Copies of this chain bind each other. A is one copy, B any other.
Amino acid sequence: MEEVLRFKKKDLLRYAQTYMEKLGVPEDHAKIVADVMIEADIRGVDSHGIIRIYTYYGNRLEGNYMDPTTPFKVISETDTTTLYDGGNGLGHVVSYHAMENCIKKAKKSNIAIATVKNSNHYGIAGYYAMMALKEDMIGVSLTNSQPLVAPTYGKTAVIGTNPISFAAPSDRQYPFVLDMATSVVPIGRIKVYEEKKEKIPAGWGIDDEGNVTEDPKKVKSGGPGALMPLGGTDIMRGYKGYGLGIMVEILCAALSGGSHLTQVGFPHMPKVCDVSHFFMAVNVNAFRPVIDFKKQIDAMITLLKESPKATGKDRIFIAGEKEFENAKYNEKHGVPVIKPVVEELISNGKRLGIPFELLPIK
C-alpha cells in the first residue's frame, strides 16, 4: 500500500482553485472544478480526484488544448430541454450549469434534460446526479469518453467506459447513488495490477486478438488490447454492458451532435476531445408526495440490507453507501492523497509557480 497523507478539505479546495486560476480559469469556474475534483477524493473515488489535476486538466490548459474560460453557450432550449456547446472548456463548468438548469426547469416542467457537446472530462459523473438530491429530485448524469472498451466479438477499443450515474433521495438512509462505468473495470484498475505484477481476473480485458487475457500488459489505453464491457464475455452477457455503453453514447453524442466512439479524444493527449454529456432531473413530487417516495427508498434499503447474507459476508451494501461513509470519515479526519501524488503536486506546482505547500494532518 502507498503511504497516504491527509489534508484538510478546505486546504485542498483552495489549492485546486488557485491552481486553476493560475492557468487562466475564472474564479467562479475554478471553484466548481475544485469542488468536483476534491469531492471525488472525499468520496474515496481517488482515480478522479486531485491525481488528475495535471494530466486531465493542467496539461491541457498549458498546451492550449482547451479553453480556460469555458465559453459555453446554449444552442437551443425549450421548457424541458437544453442543448449546450461546451466551448471546448472545462467539462465541470458547463456540466454544473447544465444540471442546475435541468433542476430549475424541472421545478416548473417536472422533467428536464440537457445535452452538451464540445466539452471535456467532467470528473465524477455522480457529482451532477447528486445535485438533484437537495431539491428532492432524481438526477441522472452520463458522459461518453475516450475509446477503451471493445464491443462483444470485437478486438479493439472503440467505446468509452461511458459511465451511468443515477441518484435518488432518501429519508433517513443515505441516498441511492449509482455511479458506474459500463465497462467491468476502468483502465486504471488494470494498471494497478500491472504495477503489482499480478494477473488480472479473466473477463476484465482482451488482448490484441480479442482473446480474454490475464496479463495486464496486454490491456493498455490506446492498445494493445481493450477493456471488456460490464458482464465480460458473451456467455456472461457482456453484450449487455456493451449495449449500455452504446445507450450512453447515443444519449450523449447523438442527442447533442458531438463526436462519438473513436472520434472522442483522450484527455491526456494534445487534441480536442469533444466529449459529450447528458443530464436529467425528475421532480419526484409530480408523481407522489416526496416524503412517501423517500420513505419507500428507506424501506427498500432496509429490506436489502436485512436480507440473508452469503456465507462469509456480514453486510450487503447499497450503491453510494461506501462513498458516503468515506466522505463522513474524510471530512472529519482529512482527505487522503497518496504520497506519489503529493510529490507530483509539489514538483508540478513548483514548475508552474503554484507551490503545493499544504501541511498534512499528522
A interface list, Cβ under 8 A from B = 76, 78-81, 83, 109-113, 115, 138, 150-156, 158-159, 164, 166, 168, 176, 178, 180, 184-185, 201, 203-204, 206, 209-211, 230-232, 235-237, 239-244, 246-247, 249-251, 253-257, 260-262, 282-284, 286-288, 292-293, 296-297, 299-300, 303-304, 307-311, 313, 315-319
Closest B residue to A298 by CB, please name it. B254
- Contact of A255 with B310 in the complex, beta carbons under 8 Å: no
Query: Which residues of chain B are within 8 angstroms of A239 by Cβ–Cβ distance?
Result: 317, 319
Closest-CB distance, A157 to chain B (whole angstroms): 9
Contact among B113, B231, B246, B282 for A231, CB-based, below 8 A = B231
A113 touches B153 (CB 8 A): no
Question: How many Å lie between the Cα of A262 and that of B156 in the bound state?
Answer: 42
- Of the candidates B257, B261, B288, B317, the one whose C-beta lies within 8 Å of that of A255 is B288
- Tell me what chain A mostly uses at the interface: helix, strand, loop, or mixed: mixed
Q: Are A151 and B304 touching (Cβ within 8 A)?
A: yes
A25–B83 CA distance with the chains assembled, in angstroms:
45
Nearest residue, chain B, Cβ from A314: B153
A178 closest partner in B (C-beta): B243
Does B158 contact A303, Cβ atoms closer than 8 Å? Answer: yes
**A112 nearest CB neighbor, chain B only:** B111
Q: Copies of this chain, how many?
A: 2
Shortest CB distance A73–B (Å) = 15
23 contacts between A and B (CB under 8 A): A78-B110, A80-B111, A81-B111, A81-B287, A109-B109, A151-B307, A153-B310, A153-B315, A153-B316, A154-B313, A154-B316, A158-B307, A168-B254, A176-B247, A178-B243, A178-B244, A180-B240, A180-B243, A184-B237, A232-B232, A246-B300, A255-B284, A260-B300
CB of A110 within 8 A of CB of B80, answer yes
B254 touches A78 (CB 8 A): no
Q: Which residues of B contact A232 (CB under 8 A)?
A: 231-232, 236
Q: Which B residues are in CB contact (< 8 Å) with A250?
A: 138, 168, 176, 297, 300
**Nearest B residue to A240 by beta-carbon distance?**
B180
> Per a CB cutoff under 8 Å, which of B79, B80, B206, B249 touches A300?
B249
Q: Are A158 and B304 in contact (CB under 8 A)?
A: yes
**A319–B154 touching, CB < 8 Å:** no
* Besides A201-B236, A211-B311, 5 other A-B contacts (C-beta < 8 A): A80-B286, A153-B316, A230-B237, A260-B296, A261-B303
Q: Which residues of chain B are near A201, meaning CB under 8 Å?
A: 235-236
Query: Which residues in B have their C-beta under 8 angstroms from that of A236?
Result: 184, 201, 203-204, 231-232, 236
Give min CB distance, A137 to chain B, whole Å. 11
- Contact (A152, B254) CB under 8 Å given A115-B287, A230-B241: no
Residue of B nearest to A181 (CB): B240
Q: Given the complex, which residues of B lie within 8 Å of A257, measured CB to CB? A: 287-288, 292-293, 296
Residues on the B chain within 8 Å of A113, using CB? 111, 282
